[in-house]
Amino acid sequence: MSLKIWDLKKKKADDAKSPAAKKKVTSAQLRVQHDLQELSLSSTMKTIFPNPDDILNFNLIIEPDEGMYKGGSFTFTFNINQNFPHDPPKVKCTQKIYHPNIDLEGNVCLNILREDWKPVLNLNAVIVGMQFLFLEPNASDPLNKEAAEDLRTNREAFKRNVRTSMAGGIVKGIQYDNVMR
């Protein structure tokens, strides 16, 4: 009798080591899966999963169809850690763009990604906030202070700089990425 129990324990241990063994699903993965199912992406946004087995790391493409950034295509990486939803996702723009709330390294200034994050917020709230940044850039909470100053003091010059930068031009000595579709 004890030999059979020993054989069963050994078989169970061997099964757990096999590549076919199921990986444990974390609470962060469950929450992200739920949030992704609940997403209401408009026609101006889409998600891309470079690794389909990793839902905690994906890209969001925003293609505004109105406002100053109309005609552009902006890609953001979302990196979600295992402590989600207690920690906000890390969001970064992959292109160098001229925007008061996105610095030249791609960091995004959105209050719900920092001090106003709460676990009850979901990915949809973040994505709507990201979309809103392209409709109404916020000069009062900037990461790119020069762009914010332009927006505050001369909206028309700001619009020209946005258009120039989106086409891959140089604004104030900085070469920007061409993000036009």
- The residues that are catalytic are 109
First to last CA, the chain: 70
Q: What is the 3-state secondary structure (H, E, C) of the chain?
A: CHHHHHHHHHHHHHHHHCCCCCCCCCHHHHHHHHHHHHCCCCCCEEEECCCCCCCCEEEEEECCCCCCCCCECEEEEEECCCCCCCCCCEEEECCCCCECCECCCCEECCHHHCCCCCCCCCHHHHHHHHHHHHHCCCCCCCCCHHHHHHHHHCHHHHHHHHHHHHECCEECCEECCECEC
